[in-house]
Amino acid sequence: MKKRKKKFSKQSLLLILLFCSLMVMGQESINTAGKEISSSSGTISYSVGQVVSDTHSTTAGTINEGVQQPSEMILSTIETIEASYNWITTYPNPTNEKITLEIRKEKLDKFRFQLYDIKGNVLENKAIKNKQTKIMMNNLLSGTYLLKVIQNNQKIVTFKIIKK
């Protein structure tokens, strides 16, 4: 009779371990396609064909459940940071032809801007010499771009620019 109790407890332990190992699995899905792109500026990954996802919205914000989260979540934090630098503005946004970068400071020493595409490629990297700088975008494809303002080799603010 003791042998039977011992065998039962080994089976129970094995069953519990198996159940726990299944619960430890992270996010997993079956997708039709996906890719991860890396550069010195960061990494972007995406997936296509996710079967299950859900979005919950309140006045405080939005949460997207699922395996892959959209890159807009990262960019929305950039827009929040932007609000604290009200002496730097860009307009019009969205744009068709050009963006004006305006810096309301007396000294423009060591200011520069960098324009990136969504893949992280630097499209333009120029010094800022005037309080209003015109950045031509008419030769760029429609899409989302990032405009980084730098002073003394330190990022001040990054704007999300929409090109129509």
Alpha-carbon span 34 to 68, nearest angstrom: 10
pLDDT of the residue at 53: 60
Which two three-digit tokens encode residue 150? 């730098």
Q: What is the pLDDT of residue 79?
A: 43
List, for the chain, all residue ranges whose pLDDT scores fall below the cut of 70: 1-8, 18-34, 40-54, 56, 60-85
Count of C-beta atoms within a 10 Å radius of residue 115: 22
pLDDT at 134: 95
Q: Which helix (H) or strand (E) holds 18?
A: helix 2-23
CA-based nearest residue to 41, from 97, 125, 151, 107: 125
Burial class (CB in 10 A: 0-12, 13-18, 19+), 120: middle
DSSP track, 45-102:
EEEE--S--EEEEETTEEEEESSS--THHHHHHHHHHHTT-TTEEEESSSBSSEEEEE
What domains appear along the chain, each with residue ranges and CATH number?
Answer: 2-70 (no CATH), 75-163 (2.60.40.10)
Q: What is the pLDDT of residues 88-115, one digit of tens each?
A: 889 998 999 999 999 888 788 889 999 9
Determine if the pTM surpasses 0.75: no
pLDDT value of residue 56: 67
Q: Can you give the pLDDT at residue 3? A: 53
Length of the chain equals 164
Is omega for the bond preceding 70 within 30 degrees of 0, making it cis? no
Q: What is the pLDDT of residue 133?
A: 92
